[in-house]
Amino acid sequence: RTARFTLDPAFTIGEVNPRLFGSFVEHLGRCVYTGVHEPGHPSADEAGLRTDVLDLVRELGVTTIRYPGGNFVSGYKWEDSVGPVEERPRRLDLAWRSTESNHFGLSEYIAFLRKIGPQAEPMMALNLGTRGVAEALELQEYANHPSGTALSDLRVSHGDKDPFGIRLWCLGNEMDGPWQTGHKTAHEYGRLAAETARAMRQIDPSVQLVVCGSSSQSMPTFAEWEATVLAETYDLVDYVSLHAYYWPTDGDFDSFLASAVDMESFIDNVVATCDHVGARLKSKKKINLSFDEWNVWYLPGWEEHSATADPRDWPEAPRLLEDNYSVMDAVVFGSLLIALLRHADRVTVACLAQLVNVIAPIMTEPGGPAWRQTTFFPFAQAARYGRGQVLDVRVDSPTYETAKYGETDLLHATAVRGEDGSVTVFAVNRSRTESLPLEVALNGLELTSVVEHSALADADPDARNTLDEPERVTPHTVAGTTLRDGTLQAVLEPLSWNVIRLR
Ligand code: AHR
């Protein structure tokens, strides 16, 4: 059976915020050290940044980059990470049971962003685990105040004359999670987040603040957490955060392929909770969503590792969470991107967790090459072509049965209309065995031709890119896709991510 939908410029979801294509650099494993930063590497610049990685980051098209954690931030002392590198202290990182050298810090992070280009924007997370209001204010003053105070002059003395101009701040990380250093109840955290936000706005009323929502929709405190925290912070913050990771459990690939069903319901439920609190407060303000950690992550692998790791061992930049992604993972990943785009009216910040080596689209070898994982391609294509107005896509699709989500559409799709009137359809066929014919009626769009139909699919759904075979999987062009008399016709290969560009 054919899957169908209609596109009409009169029916839109909203404008895509460039911040939807953010990512995340955490002091975790080899994301920073030997990932982003490797002095002595043949491609390293004068600051020790790997230029081969910088090139791939630019190609990926990431915008906002969240830093320095993640769980790491809940033990982070920002002042350890500034000033002369040789004087910076080595510290225990409790979150990842590692030793932190602080050779890469705040100034290096800002330099990294500036080298990526003007599209890269900082998103700085604050430690509300072991620290509080005072340290947040000190960091804000160090980073953003021009000069003439102790902390801003300290930054200048460290060689950073220009303020960092950090606008977007996370008030802690996953404070609902019992694994978080300094974990708090919703009430405790809500009060701390409110007081931190209030004080930060005394320095600069225009800061944009993200309050912690739940670490996943399956947390026992989900929704109640958001409602309690937002009751304390509604007028003081701009965003609430969402985090979600997906992996196949017990070989149930059909449910895994439908992971975006959970992501979309998570978004809908958080929107409902925000708006409920807003209604209770009789507020006209809307809180937007910052989906600042999302990805496919084979989480049980990490849990097994941490349960068996030698407790006396505090390695430096160990190989942690280095998931190697298959074609199937990339299709699920693409479907998660579709879910974010479909909610672009309220999800106005999102960060792919993470950027390099750690559950990442870019991998590196110390002293060796950098390469693209399968997930690199859907992200790069969405970040490039998913700019403009998201059109309202309501699919009429054949379905399949999943253990976790019941009857689910085989087609998952969205479409974005650029400023020049061109339209890009992003579509996933969740069937592992069957091609899916697709027909799209184009109403009032004045589109005449198919520019390109690109697909990521493979006869082997387990195919991956590796150090030995870095280009085993790349997108290919699909022939035979047509646009005639206002109708687009295409065939989506089994288990495929598709980008169909029309003009
Ligand atoms: O991205 C990896 C980890 O996942 C982050 O540190 C944490 O916030 C989340 O649990």
Going from N- to C-terminal start, the domains of the chain cover 4-8+392-502, 18-385
Query: 55: helix, coil or strand?
Result: helix
To test the pocket of ligand 1, the residue of 65, 72, 173, 181 to mutate (highest count of ligand atoms within 8 Å of its CB) is 173
> What is the atom index within ligand 1 of the atom nearest the CA of 354?
1
Instruction: Please list every protein residue whose CB sits less than 6 Å from any atom of ligand 1.
Output: 26, 69-71, 173-174, 215, 293, 353-354
Q: Given this model, what pLDDT does residue 106 score?
A: 98
Q: Please give the CATH number for the structural domain made up of 18-385.
A: 3.20.20.80
Secondary element (H or E) of residue 492: strand 487-492
439 catalytic per annotation: no
What is the CATH T-level fold of the domain 4-8+392-502, as seen in this structure? Immunoglobulin-like (2.60.40)
Question: Best mutation site among 24, 180, 243, 320 for ligand 1, i.e. most ligand atoms within 8 A of its Cβ?
Answer: 243
The answer to whether residues 424 and 385 touch, using CB atoms and an 8 Å cutoff, is yes
15-46 pLDDT, tens digit per residue, is 999 999 999 999 999 999 999 999 999 999 99
Ligand 1 geometric centre to CA of 124 (Å): 15
Active-site pick, 26, 232, 264, 293? 293
Return all residues near 163 (Cβ < 8 A) that are at least 6 apart: 143, 144, 145, 146, 152, 155
Residues with Cβ within 8 Å of 399's Cβ and at least 6 positions away in sequence, in order, are 407, 408, 409, 410
User: CB atoms < 10 A from the CB of 280, how many?
Assistant: 12
Sign of the C-alpha dihedral, residues 50, 370, 246, 64?
Answer: positive
pLDDT value for 68: 98
Of all protein residues, the one whose alpha carbon is nearest to atom 5 of ligand 1 is 70
Rg (CA), the chain: 23
pLDDT at position 252: 97
H/E element holding 367? none
The verdict on whether omega for the bond into residue 202 sits within 30 degrees of 0, i.e. cis, is: no
pLDDT at site 262: 98
Give distance in angstroms: CA of 368 to centre of ligand 1. Answer: 27
Q: Do domains 4-8+392-502 and 18-385 have the same CATH topology?
A: no
Q: Give me 143's structure tokens.
A: 């980073």
Strands (E), 76-227: 91-93, 98-100, 121-125, 168-171, 208-211
pLDDT string in tens for the chain (503-residue length): 999 999 999 999 999 999 999 999 999 999 999 999 999 999 999 999 999 999 999 999 999 999 999 999 999 999 999 999 999 999 999 999 999 999 999 999 999 999 999 999 999 999 999 999 999 999 999 999 999 999 999 999 999 999 999 999 999 999 999 999 999 999 999 999 999 999 999 999 999 999 999 999 999 999 999 999 999 999 999 999 999 999 999 999 999 999 999 999 999 999 999 999 999 999 999 999 999 999 999 987 777 777 777 777 899 999 999 999 999 999 999 999 999 999 999 999 999 999 999 999 999 999 999 999 999 999 999 999 999 999 999 999 999 999 999 999 999 999 999 999 999 999 999 999 999 999 999 999 999 999 999 999 999 999 999 999 999 999 999 999 999 999 999 999 999 999 999 99
For residue 212, the model assigns a pLDDT of 98
- Written as six digits, the tokens of 37 are 């930063």
Report which secondary-structure segment, H or E, holds 337. helix 327-342
* pLDDT for the residue numbered 496: 98
Q: What is the pLDDT of residue 307?
A: 77
Closest CA to 209 of 232, 193, 220, 187: 193
Under 8 Å CB-to-CB from 376, ≥6 apart: which residues?
Answer: 56, 60, 361, 362
Q: What value of ipTM does the predicted structure carry?
A: 0.99
Q: What is the pTM of this model?
A: 0.97
DSSP per residue over 19-64, as a string?
GGGEEE--SSTTSTBTTTB-TTSTTB-TTSBBHHHHHHHHHHT--E
Quote the CA–CA distance of 162 and 148 in Å, as a whole number.
Answer: 13
Closest CA to 433 of 410, 467, 466, 464: 410
Taking the centre of ligand 1 as the mean of its atom positions, its distance from the CA of residue 300, in whole angstroms, is 13
Q: Give residue 114's pLDDT.
A: 98
The pLDDT of residue 300 is 79
